[in-house]
A and B are shown apart, each in its own frame.
Chain A
Amino acid sequence: MRLSSVLAGAAIAAATALPALAGTLDDVKQRGVVHCGNPPNIPGYAFTDDKGERRGFDVDTCKALAAAIFGDATKIKLTAVGPRDALATLATGGVDILTHRMTWTFNRDNGGGIEFVMPLFYDGQGFMVRKSANIKSATQLNGASICAAQGTTTELNIADWFRSKNLRYSIVTFAEPDEARGAYESGRCDSWTNDLGSLAARGLGLKNRDEHIILPETISKEPIGPVVRQGDSQWMHVARWTFNALIAAEELGITQANVDEMKAKSENPEIKRLLGVGDDLGQKLGLKADWAYQAIKAVGNYGEMFDRHLGPNTRLGLSRGLNGLWTNGGLMIAPPFR
């Protein structure tokens, strides 16, 4: 009896240890929900509102994908993962896609079993200091102690930048970004570093935000975007073209409010192709003909998604900057839907 139970155990281990890999789209369709990984708590990007709902830029990205696949933005399952475990969780099948604050870097893109879809948010790393320290530029931070979050590109960028400017520093890294902010606030460090978007978002948690300023230097480029597993080309294309559709919508003037009208009445050929009128682009992706229409209807175009959570009218108050359309001096451009 011992032998048979051992064999049964081995069989169960075999059955559960081999998740289907190639064919994430099929898995998602079969499961009925898109499983996304989000940051645990960053105001504006992924947070829980006072009704207990998860909201934010990264949550909307997931909703757009679900709308494109199912026509229903509620068919999502959100999992909060910290930056330390996010890539490993994705690589081993824990989530289908990471809509997170991960920077696209060479080392992450190659050899880790994951690959980046496209940048959806161009950011850069900056420093926050106390106004009372009378510092006007990051080059004055020689010998400073700096609080940072662990395992992100922040540590590497700091090392590179300070070395290039021949300045000394000492770095205090915490497991959670909010702990880094807390230690900076208590005076443990002279400066707090993170992506400018995160400084703006997490900086809202400081007791006296007015006592702190963000220095003008941006010491790195941080192209942030969604991440999928390597080797699943179809899933990568579904994600990439869904997000491109949102950017194209803003280029073409399609908004959440007028998308129905555009679909019914527009004579612009590109709008008609995008929204699935008279042409079925979704077929090549394995999606329905109105995939882009559903995504835009669910979250709006890229600009609306940005303004809703991160824009000048929100608590974060970020300007579009590099995240504006290419026609406005930004970097957001969608390949033609042709």
Chain B
Amino acid sequence: MWRDPRARSYLLQGLFAAAILAVIAFIAWNTAANLARYNIRVGFQFLDRPAGFDILQRLIPYSEASTYGRAFLVAILNTVVLSAVGIVFATVLGFLIGLARLSSNWLVSRLAAVYIETLRNIPLLLQIFFWYFAILRPLPGPRQSLALPGDIFLNNRGLYLPAPVFEPGSGFVAIALIAAIAAAMAIYAWANRRQAATGQRPAAGRMALGLLIGLPFLAAVATGGPMSWDRPTLAGFNFQGGVVVIPEFVAMAVALSTYSAAFIAEVVRGGVLSVQQGQIEAARAIGLRPISIYRLVVIPQALRAIVPPLTSQYLNLTKNSSLAAAIAYPDLMHVFAGTALNQTGQPFEVMALTMGVYLGISLAISWLMNWYNRRVALRERTP
């Protein structure tokens, strides 16, 4: 049997797999034995116990009497919202700076290079502290808030906005809005078909806009305007009522966006440079303006090279959001793997859940980006 290469390879692989399983089993047994020996409580029952602490920013209802499980959800939402906002702004800013770096204008491209080199090389934690105190310093206290039209107030406790209060009947407005969006998509599809068939494009943009505004408006009028505003008012120390954007969120979002934008700019630059020069020359030869060249020829081809490293930058941004504990933004790491961990005294369960969530978010982002990558991939011409 030793002479047959296939049998030998099967045997070796089988032994190797058995050894790996043995190591995993040993680690699991060892952990369980040590947990028992150190008298450390194991189990997820703590998720049903009341948390007892308050959270600065919560997107779903939460109070100190809520469970640790609810605090977990609040923290996850905070992380997801911060990551989403960060990703959007980082992408926009990154593309702008990347294209600026490629500009033929010497000053523009130098400024972009300075931006990239500075922000890439300073540790993110320092940048977060910088933005936090840079944002807090010029803002006034609550008593001297900046009052903007529309009952909007800006002070060093946050940006206070009126919150919409949905009364019964607003369901119709929501349904009308959804119907309007569906109709707008249908109009765009119809406009594309008309353009492909006759070369003339109907005014799809204006029609869609009219629908999106008109339909919900009609529904609101029909049901008697089912929405009121909860306005922020100064009561004692701080503003009460309305919805508040805390400075910690703004500082984290700005820091994460500007930092990741520097990396994304280089990714974009690499992708654009990878487009064959012949494509750009051909586009110029048929008379396209520079903006159209970028939009129609260069970017679609550059995306093939941009999207995979862009995915990595998005994952980095999501994981970097865990630095939020340094400036009191209540993200998952801060609230759950910080406060809850210390208070329940169960580091293993808490860290396992936290790692699971970050893994889940990252896998979701990767999956989405891979789907998009397949869409922009170069389709081979079928003969």
Contacts and interface: CB of A to CB of B under 8 A. Distances in A.
Contact of B56 (A17, A173, A186): A173
Contact of B16 (A2, A84, A173): A2
Contact of B27 (A13, A143, A151): A13
Interface in B80-103: none
A264 interface: no
Interface stretch (B17-25, B277-285, B292-300, B365-373): B17-25
B343 interface: yes
B326 A156 contact: no
B26 A145 contact: no
Interface in A137-191: 141-145, 147, 150-152, 155-156, 158-160, 163, 168-176, 179-180, 182-183, 186-188, 190
Contacts of A13: 23, 26-27, 30
Nearest to B139: A187
The residue in A112, A152, A160, A182 that gathers the most chain B C-beta atoms within 10 A of its C-beta is: A112
A83 interface: yes
Q: Which of B19, B137, B328, B344 has the most CB of A within 10 A?
A: B328
Given A150-B325, A174-B326, A91 B40 contact: yes
A214 to B, nearest CB: 18
B136 interface: yes
A10 B26 contact: yes
A111 interface: yes
A84 B136 contact: no
Contacts of B330: 173
A83 B41 CA distance: 20
Contact of B38 (A113, A141, A172, A190): A113
A232 B282 CA distance: 80
A337 B339 CA distance: 41
Contacts of A9: 23
B339 A155 contact: yes
B343 A6 contact: no
Nearest to A176: B326
Contacts of B54: 155, 158-159, 169-171
A14 B15 CA distance: 20
Contact of B137 (A87, A144, A169, A186): A186
B169 to A, nearest CB: 31
Contacts of B19: 3, 6-7, 10
Nearest to B54: A171
A141 B133 CA distance: 25
Q: Is the interface of A mostly helix, strand, loop or mixed?
A: mixed
Interface string B295-325: 0000000000000000000000000000001
Interface string A88-129: 100110000000000000011001111000000000000000
Nearest to A87: B345
B231 interface: no
Interface in B53-82: 53-54, 56, 64
Interface stretch (B196-204, B206-214, B221-229, B233-241): B233-241
A257 interface: no
B345 A108 contact: yes
Given A150-B325, A230-B39, A10 B53 contact: no
A231 interface: yes
Given A186-B137, A187-B156, A179 B328 contact: yes
Interface string A235-253: 0000000000000000000
Contacts of A87: 342, 345
B56 A188 contact: no
B252 to A, nearest CB: 13
A107 B325 contact: no
A1 to B, nearest CB: 11
A117 to B, nearest CB: 16
Contact of B40 (A113, A159, A179): A113
Given A152-B342, A179-B326, A173 B40 contact: no
Given A6-B19, A174-B326, A186-B133, A229 B38 contact: yes
Interface string A1-32: 01100110110011001100100000000000
A111 B41 contact: yes
B120 interface: no
Contact of A170 (B34, B56, B247, B342): B56
Contacts of B215: none
Interface string B318-352: 00000001111010001000110111111100000
B347 A88 contact: yes
Contacts of A107: 343-345
Contacts of B137: 186
A160 B236 contact: no
A142 B238 CA distance: 9
Contact of B136 (A91, A152, A188): A188
> Quick one: which of B19, B22, B54, B330 has the most chain A CB within 10 A?
B54
Nearest to B350: A88
B38 A159 contact: no
A3 B21 CA distance: 12
Given A6-B19, A151-B338, A143 B328 contact: no
Nearest to B325: A175
B52 to A, nearest CB: 5
Contacts of B347: 88, 91
Nearest to B236: A143
Contact of A159 (B23, B64, B235, B338): B64
Given A14-B30, A150-B339, A155-B339, 7 more contacts: A18-B30, A107-B345, A112-B40, A114-B345, A151-B339, A171-B53, A179-B327
6 contacts: A91-B38, A91-B40, A107-B345, A150-B339, A156-B52, A171-B56
Interface of A: 2-3, 6-7, 9-10, 13-14, 17-18, 21, 83-84, 87-88, 91-92, 107-108, 111-114, 141-145, 147, 150-152, 155-156, 158-160, 163, 168-176, 179-180, 182-183, 186-188, 190, 229-231
Task: Please give me the 3 A-B residue pairs with the lowest Cβ-Cβ distance, nearest first.
Answer: A112-B345, A151-B342, A111-B41
